[in-house]
Amino acid sequence: MASLGHSVVGIDSDRSKVARLQAGEAPFFEPGLPELLREGLASGRLRFTSDLDAAAACRLHFVCVGTPQRADGLGADLGDLEAVVTSLGPKLRNGAVLVGKSTVPVGTARRLARAVSAAGAELVWNPEFLREGHAVSDTLAPDRIVYGLATPPSSAGSGVIDELYQPMLDAGVPRLTMSFESAELVKTSANSYLALRVSFINGVADMADAAGADVTDVASALRLDERIGRLFLNPGLGFGGGCLPKDLRALTLRAEQLGVPKTASLLAAVDQINSARPDRVVDLAAEALGGSVAGHRVAVLGLSFKPLSDDIRNSQSVVLAKRLAAAGAEVVATDPQAARLARQEHSSLGYATTVREAVAGADLVVLATEWEEYRSLNPVAVATWTQARAVVDARLVLDPAEWSAAG
């Protein structure tokens, strides 16, 4: 927002995060973000603080706090969101607009709107569709902008946000206004549909294995059907991260609560197929090692939930590494960005800094997260670094012929 010329203050209760941001340091790996951060700070249009009083001077308030899965069930934990809305109440000036960015179960915004309007402000729900690893471009050039309003089609608040997003609207980004409920459902069903596609192709992969077909061939042909489309049809280890798994589960619960059990079953099946993926790869690893991974050294390439991110929340690659270790393998994992965090959170695993170090002495190599530097590994070179003569490509990104030719 600062890069669009607006004056922005970022507020967070985590003081160490605020200090790092104020020093121009991004608290996580995100391509393009450090540059934008430094540019914003240097322009004087961007600053960070832990003092909520700073909000009192603002006209627009983006609420971007996390809504993780609850510890005691499938639903989203709205504790932080509710706390922020409550503590912002007294700081809101008349006519202020509170913009909800957090991903919430359908029905949340209408409940929160009462407290916001009691404070003389307006609530607009403006779901966020950015992907990690592409956050900067997705934010500045989104596919669509959605406003959930108390009473669509427009309001004073939507007019204020229009001013903010003017450059994007001028560039032709479609903007849709709808009810709170519809906007909430757009977000959670978008993520759940992406998850469904991944589990669908993984379900086809299991059938292909059982029937002697090759899912790579099947997927290549499916992608050429315009109605099906190219993306989110890569079979493999499945989906993870801080969004798809928890949004899928929260939507499953919400479907049940709303008395729509068939939709709940469909969504639950998507989760079940995904949960089984790491074990499928452990089976492949065991097969490659003559029946069991126990006692073997296994190099795991990639730990983040996807490339271009250091996020290991719900990472299928971490689950895989831990399952291999639980089955008795000596795991040596590596990742270009996520290894530092993984070392802290999963200290029982072995780690290496480079691929060369990870594969040295390994009996098997498993590609878990498809970072470009792993996709472009030279099999001839790798064959000289390791005694392993099998690679399990859990993301189906390597060329089997090329790797077989290299031994």
Contacts of 286 by beta carbon, 8 Å cutoff, 6+ apart? 292, 293, 327
Residue 284 binds to ligand UGA (criterion: CB under 6 A): no
Calpha distance 233→217 (Å, rounded): 12
Residue 203 binds to ligand UGA (criterion: CB under 6 A): no
The footprint of ligand UGA on this chain (CB under 6 A) covers a number of residues equal to 21
Contacts of 93 by beta carbon, 8 Å cutoff, 6+ apart? 56, 59, 120, 121
Strand partners for 299: 332, 365
* Count of C-beta atoms within a 10 Å radius of residue 172: 7
Considering only residues 213 through 232, tell me which ones interact with ligand UGA, judged by CB under 6 A.
232
| Contact (CB, 8 A) for 73 and 33 | no
* Count of C-beta atoms within a 10 Å radius of residue 299: 29
* Count of C-beta atoms within a 10 Å radius of residue 338: 25
Q: Which of 241, 278, 302, 350 binds ligand UGA (CB under 6 A)?
A: 241
Considering the complex, state which of residue 130 and residue 398 has its C-beta at the smaller distance from ligand UGA.
130
Considering the complex, state which of residue 255 and residue 319 has its C-beta at the smaller distance from ligand UGA.
319
Residue 239 binds to ligand UGA (criterion: CB under 6 A): yes
> Least distance to ligand UGA from the beta carbon of 134, Å?
8
The active-site residue, picked from 186, 243, 293, 349, is 243
| Whether residue 64 lies in the annotated active site | no
| Separation in Å, CA 328 to CA 153, 210, 293, 334, 392 | 59, 27, 6, 19, 17
Considering the complex, state which of residue 297 and residue 306 has its C-beta at the smaller distance from ligand UGA.
306
Considering the complex, state which of residue 15 and residue 230 has its C-beta at the smaller distance from ligand UGA.
230
Q: What is the largest CA-CA distance in the chain?
A: 71
For the window 124-163, what string marks contact with ligand UGA as x by the rule CB under 6 A?
----xxxxx-------------------------------
Active site residues: 243
The residues of the shown chain that bind ligand UGA, judged by CB under 6 A, are 103, 128-132, 191, 194, 198, 232-234, 236, 238-241, 243-244, 305-306
